[in-house]
């Protein structure tokens, strides 16, 4: 009896096990045959995601059938205006075959930052036999932004006559149509008409070499990189520049300081100790700079000087300055405002700069007055200061009369140097006699409006709140939110100071990771441009991370004008429209950084227009870091490859499903067909 019960119990167990196995098999097949799937989140799927094979040694007991699919979790957390379609009976098209996205590789499998990841090299690669004509192929409309139905496969090289071309300053056709050139109009911007812009790659001169790194480049550069001997011939006796075998040498002199820039700077500081280079004077402007030795030697005193000069008979002086690694721009003070905000510079310098400051009721000196910070200094080293000749003495008297009417105070005159100081407030202006000339500018005049704005023969008013005058000394001012922050128009519910601090913290962390993971200190960066600078947080982070470079912070006209804040921080900046070429020589920057630029500017102009301009101003061996939305990455990749760049797309720190990616473009040296 007991044996029968035992047999019966065993049989029941066996039958139960078989039935359970069949049930598991049925349900497992039912939910994995593709017709029905377990979906944990009802959301949009990324059709471009390619499933990956399951790792054999997986530690998981079971893997969801949806483990290879990605979901937009943010739409589950936040409300959305887009109605989701049900997944049932939905047929999805096959995924498009696109180039795989290369991940950043900054994190290991545990989410810890690696320190052995490296990108780029010290020199540049040479691409031989690059064609001279653009190659196109039938396809989508992306990649070159050209005619619909075609895509640029490869941009050709421009003619060698364009190797020093600055499109808006070398527009011979537009310059020939000018009604007048007596005020220097021919040295100002005259950009090509739409459709006539750059559509090829500007070639380097024969024998181009990797630039000599800073600080050695301050004193010498390769002749083959700027093969123009005229400046050395014309200024050979003035200690500017000389040729020594295969190099240009820069002794550090100038027309008015033939004994060297250091001695000249010592003289200025001895004349007026209040100038305090590197503390009270942090940002300076050198007008008619020559090869920029004044600014080059101020760098060792913690003064950031923007050296400017027109592309005149000595047209390559700015190119020499940038090849040396000194901040510089091609610019002429003629009929339009310079592209810098009011109260930008603590000191403005002119040494034999060939500018007639008193012409047209002093309109040029009034522009200097707009740019000069309240309480700032104007240093003039010129023959009228010290020579006793009738004509020169008359020029000196006109200068004294004009500066007096501007309420400038002549604080020191010694030898061939005169130094004036601008007032701290409007009290002197308001106490002048009625009808005094020049008049105060209209109350509605915006002194920070500079893009294609005519010069105005009036005195720029100083802000009644004292904005611009009460800045901190260097280096505290770099991270201290300036008062002029309150005057910036921004679309945000956050306070401006919170935005300022958040941007600074964000970029400091990002640059810190670049330095650790991408070894940025080994890239020998010197000339850097931030193409959409915001409050200048990227540039500030480079300083905080002790990278020995300078940054030109570009504020696009399509956004908010944050230039006053950038200068108040002790940084350099300029206004620009990226739908037009930039005023600099080819091959003048080591690094171009663009954060969110293309997704905004694509509404205004072609992305290939901006990318070709980036290629023009980027040195061979240089790098471009573009952080932008996923939506524009494919086209940017295509354009970069068509220009001969080595292009990779990497994940940001937010991970592979973030809406932003980082495109890294390394420019190679292209050589035409032989």
> Per-residue pLDDT tens for 446-485?
999 999 999 999 999 999 999 999 899 999 999 999 999 9
Is the domain of 583 the same as that of 487?
yes
Verify that 497 and 359 share a domain, yes or no.
no
Percent of the chain, pLDDT > 90?
Answer: 67
Tell me, yes or no, whether 417 and 491 share the same domain.
no
Res. 106 pLDDT band, cuts 50 70 90: very low
Domain count, the chain: 2
* Predicted confidence (pLDDT) per residue in 640-661, tens digit: 999 999 999 999 888 889 999 9
Closest C-alpha among 106, 567, 580 to residue 340 = 567
Whole-number pLDDT of residue 493? 59
Q: What is the DSSP string of 154-173?
A: EPPBPPGGGTT--TTT--HH
Tell which of 431, 461, 488 closes a domain.
431
Residue 263 lies in a domain: yes
Of the listed ranges 101-115, 403-417, 623-637, 651-665, the least confidently predicted one is: 101-115
Give the residue from 616, 571, 592 showing the smallest Cα distance to 525: 592
Among 373, 408, 431, which residue terminates a domain? 431
* DSSP-assigned states of every residue in 90-139: PPPPPPP--PPPPP---B-TTSPBPS------SS--EEEEE-SS-EEEES
Q: In this model, does residue 613 exceed pLDDT 70?
A: yes
Q: Is residue 639 part of a domain?
A: yes
pLDDT of residue 13: 67
Determine how β-strand 550-556 pairs with β-strand 572-576: parallel
**Do 345 and 483 belong to one domain?**
no
Structural domain contains residue 618: yes
Q: Is the residue at 235 inside a domain?
A: no
Give the three-state DSSP class for 525. coil
Residues 535 and 418 in one domain: no
61 within some domain = no
The answer as to whether 587 is a domain residue is yes
540 and 629 belong to one structural domain:
yes
Q: Is residue 39 part of a domain?
A: no
Residues 280 and 377 in one domain: yes
Instruction: Categorize the per-residue pLDDT at 265 as very low, low, confident or very high, splitting at 50, 70 and 90.
Output: very high
Model confidence over 23-77: pLDDT tens digits? 655 555 444 444 343 333 333 334 334 444 433 333 333 333 344 444 333 333 3
Which domain range does residue 268 map to?
Answer: 258-431
Q: Is 69 helix (H, G, I), strand (E, B) or coil?
A: coil
Judgement on whether residues 424 and 492 belong to the same structural domain of the protein: no
pLDDT given at position 672: 75
Say if residue 290's pLDDT is above 80.
yes
SS3 264: helix
Per-residue model confidence as pLDDT tens digits over 319-353: 999 999 999 999 999 999 999 999 999 999 999 89
Q: Which long-range contacts (CB under 8 A, 24 or more apart) does 235-243 make?
A: 235/290, 235/314, 240/290, 240/291, 240/293, 241/291, 241/320
Query: CA-to-CA distance for 17 and 98, rounded, in angstroms?
Result: 49
Does 287 lie in the same domain as 414?
A: yes
Q: Is residue 326 part of a domain?
A: yes
Mean pLDDT of the chain: 84
How far is Cα 298 from Cα 317, in angstroms, rounded to an integer?
A: 18
Residues 392 and 484 placed together within one structural domain of the fold: no
> 421 and 491 share a domain?
no
- Whether the per-residue pLDDT at 664 is higher than 50: the answer is yes
Last residue of a domain, one of 402, 431, 460: 431
Query: Does 407 share its domain with 512?
Result: no
Smallest Cα–Cα separation from 353: which of 323, 383, 330, 396? Answer: 383
pLDDT value of residue 459: 97
CATH of residue 640's domain is: 3.40.50.150
């Amino acid at each position: 009896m007991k044996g029968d019960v035992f047999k019966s119990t065993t049989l029941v167990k066996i039958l139960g096990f078989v039935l359970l196995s069949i049930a598991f098999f049925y349900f497992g097949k039912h939910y994995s045959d593709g017709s029905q799937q377990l979906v944990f989140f009802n959301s949009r799927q990324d059709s471009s995601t390619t499933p990956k094979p399951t790792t054999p040694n997986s530690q998981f007991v079971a893997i969801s059938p949806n483990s290879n699919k990605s979901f937009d979790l943010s739409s589950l957390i936040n409300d959305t205006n887009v109605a989701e379609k049900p997944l049932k009976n939905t047929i999805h098209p096959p995924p498009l075959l696109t180039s795989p996205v290369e991940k950043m590789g900054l994190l290991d499998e545990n989410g810890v930052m690696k320190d052995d990841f490296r990108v780029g090299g010290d020199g540049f690669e040479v691409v031989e036999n690059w064609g001279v004509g653009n190659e196109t192929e039938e396809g989508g409309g992306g990649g070159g932004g050209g005619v619909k139905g075609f895509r640029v496969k490869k941009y050709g090289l421009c003619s060698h006559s364009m190797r020093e071309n600055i499109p808006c300053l070398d527009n011979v056709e537009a310059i020939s149509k000018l009604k007048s050139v007596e005020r220097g109009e021919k040295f100002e911007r005259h950009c090509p008409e739409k459709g006539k812009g750059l559509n090829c790659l500007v070639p380097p001169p024969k024998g181009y070499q990797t630039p000599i790194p800073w600080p050695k480049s301050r004193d010498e550069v390769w002749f083959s990189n700027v093969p123009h001997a005229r400046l050395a011939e014309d200024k050979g006796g003035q200690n500017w520049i000389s040729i020594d075998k295969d190099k240009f040498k820069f002794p550090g002199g100038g027309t008015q300081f033939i004994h060297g820039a250091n001695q000249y700077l010592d003289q200025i500081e001895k004349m007026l100790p209040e100038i305090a280079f590197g503390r009270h004077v942090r940002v300076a402007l050198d007008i008619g700079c020559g090869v920029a030795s004044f600014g080059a030697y101020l760098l060792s005193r913690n003064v950031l000087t923007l050296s400017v000069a027109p592309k005149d008979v000595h047209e390559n002086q700015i190119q020499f300055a940038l090849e040396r690694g000194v901040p510089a721009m091609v610019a002429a003070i003629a009929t339009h405002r310079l592209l810098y905000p009011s109260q930008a510079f603590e000191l403005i310098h002119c040494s034999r700069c060939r500018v007639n400051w008193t012409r047209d009721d002093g309109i040029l000196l009034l522009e200097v007055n707009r740019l000069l910070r309240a309480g700032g200094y104007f240093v003039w080293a010129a023959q009228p200061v010290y020579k006793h000749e009738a004509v020169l003495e008359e020029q000196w008297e006109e200068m004294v009369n004009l500066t007096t009417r501007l309420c400038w105070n002549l604080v020191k005159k010694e030898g061939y140097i005169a130094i004036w100081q601008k007032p701290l407030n409007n009290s002197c202006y308001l106490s002048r006699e009625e009808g005094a000339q020049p008049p105060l500018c209209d109350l509605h005049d915006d002194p920070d409006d500079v893009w294609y704005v005519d010069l105005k023969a009036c005195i720029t008013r100083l802000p009644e709140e004292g904005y611009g005058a009460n800045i901190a000394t260097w280096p505290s001012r770099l991270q201290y939110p300036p008062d002029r922050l309150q005057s910036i128009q921004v679309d945000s519910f956050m306070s401006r100071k919170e935005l300022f601090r958040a941007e600074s913290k964000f970029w400091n962390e990002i640059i810190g990771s670049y330095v650790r993971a991408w070894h940025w200190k080994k890239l020998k960066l010197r000339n850097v441009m931030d193409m959409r600078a915001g409050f200048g947080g990227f540039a500030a982070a480079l300083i905080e991370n002790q990278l020995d470079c300078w940054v030109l912070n570009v504020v696009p006209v399509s956004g908010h004008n944050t230039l006053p804040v950038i200068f108040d921080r002790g940084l350099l900046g300029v206004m620009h429209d990226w739908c037009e070429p930039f005023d600099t020589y080819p091959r003048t920057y080591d690094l171009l950084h663009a954060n969110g630029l293309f997704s905004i500017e694509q509404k205004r102009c072609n992305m290939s227009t901006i990318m070709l301009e980036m290629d023009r101003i980027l040195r061979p061996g240089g790098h471009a870091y573009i952080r932008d939305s996923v939506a524009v990455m494919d086209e940017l990749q295509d354009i970069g490859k068509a220009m001969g760049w080595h292009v990779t797309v990497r994940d940001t720190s937010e991970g592979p499903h973030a809406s932003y990616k980082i495109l890294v473009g390394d420019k190679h040296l292209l050589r035409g067909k032989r």
